């Protein structure tokens, strides 16, 4: 707390208007706030309020704009580097009700008074969705395997409790939060029109263009029992059930500075963003942020605070612009969107998914460029293409190929591919590696493409075949997926099930390429060594997280790898979205790399699992976090300020980006407290000025929810882009 002398000096020297405010530390030394800062102190009935968020937002700029900081031990704050505008400044914090908004301009000293929440329920209104979701009852482990709709209502495909949890997370939390106000209370459903909460939930998931997909996911789990559990959850919340309280920010979490710009449209989902070349984060300093998804290509300039939105382009005519809220022709989607009815969106991303920048000012994207999934003849059996001769591909299962946007010419360039695409990453030789196929790992040699414009000659792919006979090479014929295993043959890992496609992808410093596969539980990491003459020299290895292994603590059984990245030491990092861990895998620790036992669980010694913060689901046989981690990213170049090689996970249901300090096993939770509903999929870090300290660097993420109308404020809210920075202390400017 501040001393009386410090408070008296603070009151004498802090000034509003265009004159810089001055804060005084408890030691009596002043902390100057420049003319473009807003400073002040937050107090409650018991004195200063530490660890609460101060929000300064304005609509005076071309985009909506907001900065959020955290108070220090004495309740003081400093919102730094604000553009000239009039701001509304207010406070949100756990245990409090939101404060009144105070109008202020940069240079002002603002004193904010806050009130305690009157009840636990009132306090819980601003808790992250995973705290509410942790109240969901999980079926007992003894209920598995499921016995179907005429039995316990759980699908027979759910062999274990882990299968149920993993499918529930990746099927329901995959697109938006569950546990936010829009889902836990069903505010858009007229409960009087339904017999009970179970019927209301069925109506809720049927609604809109996503209805068929949601019904499909529910049936995979066992819709009858799932709806009963969701109904029971909603009824308990209506009866007054309240989750445990999250901790307020502490330690380095109080040094976080959030800067936020609005972009896209109310019906336009921005899936992922990119700001620089991952291999060199000093490129394009202070440049635009590029986002793709259902909103098309969205470009926001963080200097001028201007945003634009472009439709993607295609080679063949494709479906008209629409969003997930649109009613489709399927009978199960006859229920209009609860928010948008049959209104269509006005932009089109054509299945665009993930962007990545190169060192030539191009934004590369995985997107659909042609209609249908049938492949060209050059992809199929009988083609002279080297990869097709080795392993033909009849269908592009995701109907997604490749494009890039040239930021200099402002033109799109479209590139076809035989293999399905999902995520993409460049290696040091400008080869673009792509995940997305159920059976292969694909690549595009961008140097060759730039020189020849020949998309066929520039691309290739390798099936993922493991040397299970241990002879040091891959030979045909091999054991096919699901067929009887001949120990004298190698074994191909793959599937015709689109759910089991390769997901994340990352080139490794040793020249290999790693991908993640979500299914079946516990999921896999696949290492592909292209060799000297791919595809003939390609060889794969497959590794599963420790699972159902009695030699390992059940809390460290993991499943559900999604995002994947590598640190500069060659250690692979992946977020286990199913079980709720960050996991590292160090292949150098493996005793076995190939042979008959090298089918997944042969190198548990290579894994280290880090349980993530936040509440667990009740009734789970193992430690299972209620949060959901969509992707992971390693800060190789210290773009955030926590140090090099720090892995980060996108806590989509905790309103946060989670940073792990591996040596201390400490988690830094960088919460986005407003608007509630922060759901991020991808991350990118950029160093705008290596000599400017914390101000010259930051990590970027977008509100990547598939339902922007679920964000706090409801229908009409748009996605936002967020820059995370960490300063030396809560009062640094």
Q: What is the pTM of this model?
A: 0.93
Secondary-structure class of domain 4-124 per CATH: mainly beta
Local mean pLDDT, 10-residue blocks, the chain (733 residues): 35 33 40 84 96 98 98 97 98 98 96 97 98 96 93 94 94 93 92 93 90 90 94 96 97 98 92 97 98 94 96 85 36 72 82 96 97 95 97 94 97 97 97 95 98 98 96 95 93 78 94 94 96 97 92 86 96 96 97 94 95 91 90 97 96 97 95 97 96 97 93 94 97 93
Other beta carbons less than 10 A from residue 242's beta carbon: 18
Residues carrying CATH 2.60.40.1120, the chain: 4-124
Q: What does each C-alpha distance from 182 to 311, 676, 684, 708, 719 come to in angstroms? A: 29, 11, 29, 11, 16
Residues carrying CATH 2.130.10.10, the chain: 265-325+342-463+500-726
Q: What does each C-alpha distance from 203 to 174, 224, 231, 499 come to in angstroms? A: 20, 13, 12, 25
The 3-state DSSP composition of the chain as helix, strand, coil percent (nearest 5) reads 15, 30, 55
In terms of Cβ atoms closer than 10 Å to its own Cβ (0-12, 13-18, 19+), residue 226 is buried
Determine the Cα–Cα distance for residues 595 and 625; give it in Å rounded to an integer: 35
Nearest CA among 723, 488, 624 for reference residue 137: 624
The pLDDT of residue 15 is: 30
Angle between helices 197-206 and 223-238 (to 10 degrees): 120
Determine the Cα–Cα distance for residues 4 and 432; give it in Å rounded to an integer: 62
Determine the Cα–Cα distance for residues 370 and 415; give it in Å rounded to an integer: 10
Q: What does each C-alpha distance from 87 to 102, 394, 598, 717 come to in angstroms? A: 8, 57, 60, 19
Determine the Cα–Cα distance for residues 557 and 549; give it in Å rounded to an integer: 8
Identify the sign of the CA torsion 399, 544, 525, 353.
positive
Determine the Cα–Cα distance for residues 465 and 538; give it in Å rounded to an integer: 8
Helices (H), 288-432: 386-390
Determine the Cα–Cα distance for residues 562 and 545; give it in Å rounded to an integer: 12
Angle between helices 197-206 and 211-221 (to 10 degrees): 130
The pLDDT of residue 6 is: 37
**Does the domain at residues 265-325+342-463+500-726 carry the CATH identifier 1.10.287.1770?**
no
């Amino acid at each position: 707390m501040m001393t009386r002398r410090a408070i008296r000096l603070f009151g004498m020297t802090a000034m509003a208007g265009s004159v810089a405010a001055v804060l005084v530390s408890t030691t009596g030394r002043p902390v100057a706030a420049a003319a473009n800062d807003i400073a002040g102190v937050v107090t409650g009935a018991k004195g200063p309020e530490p660890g609460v968020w101060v929000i300064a937002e304005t609509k005076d700029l071309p985009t909506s704009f907001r900065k959020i900081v955290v108070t220090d031990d004495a309740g003081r704050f400093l919102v730094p580097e604000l553009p000239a505008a009039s701001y509304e400044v207010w406070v949100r914090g756990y245990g409090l009700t939101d404060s009144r908004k105070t109008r202020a301009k940069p240079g002002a000293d603002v004193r904010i008074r806050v009130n305690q929440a009157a009840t636990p329920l009132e306090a819980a209104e601003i808790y992250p969705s995973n705290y509410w979701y942790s109240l969901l009852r999980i079926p007992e482990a003894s209920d598995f395997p499921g016995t179907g709709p005429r039995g316990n209502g759980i699908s027979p495909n759910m062999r274990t409790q882990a299968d149920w949890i993993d499918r529930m997370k990746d099927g329901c939390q995959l697109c938006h939060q569950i546990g936010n106000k829009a889902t836990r209370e069903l505010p858009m459903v007229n409960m009087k029109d339904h017999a009970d909460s179970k019927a209301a939930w069925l109506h809720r998931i049927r609604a809109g263009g996503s209805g068929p997909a949601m019904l499909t996911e529910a049936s995979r789990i066992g819709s009858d029992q799932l709806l009963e559990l969701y109904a029971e959850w909603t009824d308990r919340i209506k009866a007054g059930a309240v989750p445990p309280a999250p901790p307020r920010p502490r330690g380095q979490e109080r040094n976080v500075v959030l800067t936020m710009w609005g972009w896209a449209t109310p019906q336009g989902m921005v899936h992922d963003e990119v700001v620089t070349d991952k291999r060199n984060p000093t490129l394009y300093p202070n440049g635009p942020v590029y986002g793709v998804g259902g909103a098309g290509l969205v470009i926001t300039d963080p200097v001028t605070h201007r945003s634009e939105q472009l439709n993607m382009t295609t080679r063949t005519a494709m479906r008209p612009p629409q969003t997930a809220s649109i009613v489709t022709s399927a009978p199960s989607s006859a229920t209009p969107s609860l928010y948008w009815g049959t209104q269509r969106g006005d932009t089109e991303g054509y299945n665009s998914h993930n962007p990545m920048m190169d060192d030539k000012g191009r934004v590369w994207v995985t997107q659909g460029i042609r209609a249908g999934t049938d492949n060209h003849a050059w992809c199929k059996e009988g083609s002279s293409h080297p990869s097709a001769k080795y392993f033909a591909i009849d269908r592009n299962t995701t109907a997604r190929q490749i494009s890039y946007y040239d930021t200099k010419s402002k033109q799109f360039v479209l590139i076809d591919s035989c293999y399905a695409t999902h995520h993409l990453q460049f290696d040091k030789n400008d080869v673009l590696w792509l995940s997305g196929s159920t059976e292969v790992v694909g690549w595009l040699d961008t140097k060759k493409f730039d020189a020849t414009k020949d998309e066929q000659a520039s691309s290739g792919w390798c099936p993922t075949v493991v040397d299970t006979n241990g002879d040091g090479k891959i030979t045909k014929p091999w054991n096919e997926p699901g067929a009887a295993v001949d120990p004298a043959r190698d074994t191909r890992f793959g599937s015709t099930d689109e759910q089991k496609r390769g997901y994340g992808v990352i080139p490794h410093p040793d020249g290999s390429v790693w991908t993640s596969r979500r299914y079946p539980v516990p999921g896999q990491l696949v290492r592909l060594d292209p060799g000297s003459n791919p595809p003939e020299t390609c060889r794969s290895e497959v590794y599963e997280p420790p699972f159902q292994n009695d030699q390992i603590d059940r809390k460290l059984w993991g499943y559900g790898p999604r995002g994947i990245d590598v640190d500069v030491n060659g250690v692979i990092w992946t977020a286990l979205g199913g079980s709720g861990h960050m996991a590292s895998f160090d292949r150098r620790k493996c005793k076995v790399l190939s042979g008959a036992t090298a089918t997944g669980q042969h190198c548990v010694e290579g894994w280290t699992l880090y349980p993530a913060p936040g509440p667990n689901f009740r009734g789970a046989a193992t430690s299972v976090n209620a949060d959901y981690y969509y992707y992971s990213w390693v800060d190789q170049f210290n773009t955030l300020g926590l140090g090099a090689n720090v892995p980060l996970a996108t806590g989509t249901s905790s309103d946060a980006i989670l940073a792990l300090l591996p040596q201390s096993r400490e988690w830094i939770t960088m919460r986005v407290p407003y608007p509630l509903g922060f759901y991020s999929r991808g991350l990118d870090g950029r160093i705008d000025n290596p000599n400017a300290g914390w101000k010259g660097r930051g990590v970027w993420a977008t509100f990547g929810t598939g339902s922007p109308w679920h964000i706090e404020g409801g229908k009409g809210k748009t996605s936002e882009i967020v820059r995370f920075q960490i300063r030396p202390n809560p009062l640094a400017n």
